[in-house]
Amino acid sequence: RCAGRVEVQHGGRWGTVCDDDWGLPDAAVVCRQLGCGAALAAPPGAWFGEGSGPIWLNGLRCQGTEERLVLCRHRGWRPHVCAHEEDASAVCSGCARARCAQVPPTHGSPRPALTLTPASLPGSPTVRLVGATGRCAGRLEIFHAGRWGTVCDDLWGLPDAAVVCRQLGCG
């Protein structure tokens, strides 16, 4: 619920956010707005799969302290020339309140709704641990582009492992 492709609703239509200039401060604002705790990562390149529809925002430049994504500097609300292979993603530490799937717009308010949409891989987990006894230990593999592959350990740390453990229901 607190990791996925960043999608915003504008003018009654859902669309994505381009990952140009996307970084941890931007993901921090998304996580805060959704009540999903701290930002752990801002993966580039449609990490959680490509979205569809318009790409509403591009060139976001959040300080990381804003309460809502719409308060960050950006290049304007309009369909942008950016491919869905560049859809922005966020990985948050978890829910700070009971629900963090979506924040609906206030009636009559022009502010957009925001959600994190996880990759849609029916019947297949996006990550798994292999090579050890039990499902909660082992080498991390990720399913991408139709096949399983390993994850490089460069810059890997406990926050990353915590996300995987939560995603697999391992605590």
Q: Is residue 157 part of a domain?
A: yes
Residues in the chain: 171
Residue 156 and residue 111 in one domain: no
pLDDT in the model for residue 123? 42
Q: Is residue 63 part of a domain?
A: yes
DSSP annotation of 54 = -
Give the whole-angstrom CA distance, residue 148 versus residue 155.
Answer: 21
Q: Is residue 48 part of a domain?
A: yes
Residue 146 and residue 96 in one domain: no
The amino acid sitting at 146 is G
Give the whole-angstrom CA distance, residue 31 versus residue 95.
Answer: 9
pLDDT in the model for residue 18? 92
Q: Is residue 45 part of a domain?
A: yes
**What pTM value is reported for the model?**
0.60
Q: What is the DSSP string of 106-157?
A: PTT--PPPEEEE----TTS-SEEEESSSSTTSSEEEEEETTEEEE---TT--
Query: Which structural domain range is residue 101 located in?
Result: 3-117
Residue 103 and residue 131 in one domain: no
pLDDT in the model for residue 65? 92
Residue 154 and residue 82 in one domain: no
Give the whole-angstrom CA distance, residue 27 versus residue 29.
Answer: 5
Per-residue pLDDT of the chain (171 residues; tens, 9 = 90+): 588 889 988 888 888 999 988 999 999 999 999 888 888 889 888 888 888 889 988 888 999 999 988 899 888 777 777 999 999 999 888 744 433 334 333 333 344 466 666 554 344 457 788 887 777 888 888 877 667 788 888 888 888 888 788 777 776
Give the whole-angstrom CA distance, residue 151 versus residue 141.
Answer: 6
Domain count, the chain: 2
pLDDT in the model for residue 112? 46
